[in-house]
Amino acid sequence: MGMAMPACGIRLPSALVVSSGPATAVRFQSSPNCAERRDGLKPTLIVIHYTAMESAEAAIERLCDPQAEVSAHYLIAANGDVTQMVEEAARAWHAGAGEWCGLDDINSRSIGIELDNRGTHPFSAPQMDSLESLLRGIMGRWDIAPEGVIGHSDMAPGRKFDPGPHFDWARLARQGLAAPAGQGDAREHLDWPSFRTAAQAAGFTAAAPDEVLLEAVRFRFRPFASGPLSREDYSPLG
């Protein structure tokens, strides 16, 4: 599509995301669905999504459609191709309502990355390689800590389920690109108030029923776990 000026009026950077790993080429396709970040906020979070659409092209078309009123800063296709739609300094419309670590307006506090995936299958190796390179660049430019890399379901439990149980959070954590699971002691006594307290301390502060909160924590740290609250659900929050 070539380089373009985004509708937010901020010029996009050069077409390479440079990190400690190989540079990743970036294609630009401007989305009008963006604005200035509110209250002078800068990105301290990166929110990872899946598109839940049939193709990367269909997702990009929607994210650039003014009628849809949604967008993200980046989309990574299954083959690893990266498309940038909103300049990082601008506010994309990807997170919606939600909260993380007691903070709201996540759109003003974050950079959104969409992954071409329907949530029903693993994420491809080329896609994960590009994601890692992109994360390193963004985290370096904005001084974002690994704890600031979260999933959509982390900040909007029950409303959103992406990037889902197939996403390899442990792979990112091993490279310092996401927070690792904690090593807390398994609890002798299980109860919802103590679990909620532990989850909130780990960042899961958005309002949600107990079972929905448990589902969100498991998506992040214990994918495919099921059944009632268990001792193993506390450990990664420690």
Please identify every residue annotated as catalytic.
114
Q: How many helices (H) and strands (E) does the chain have?
A: 8, 9
CA 112 to chain centre: 6
- CA 129/CA 25 separation, integer angstroms: 12
- CA 216/CA 5 separation, integer angstroms: 37
Tokens 């996540």 belong to which residue?
106
Which residues are bridge partners to 36 per DSSP? 90
Element (H, E) at 46: strand 45-50
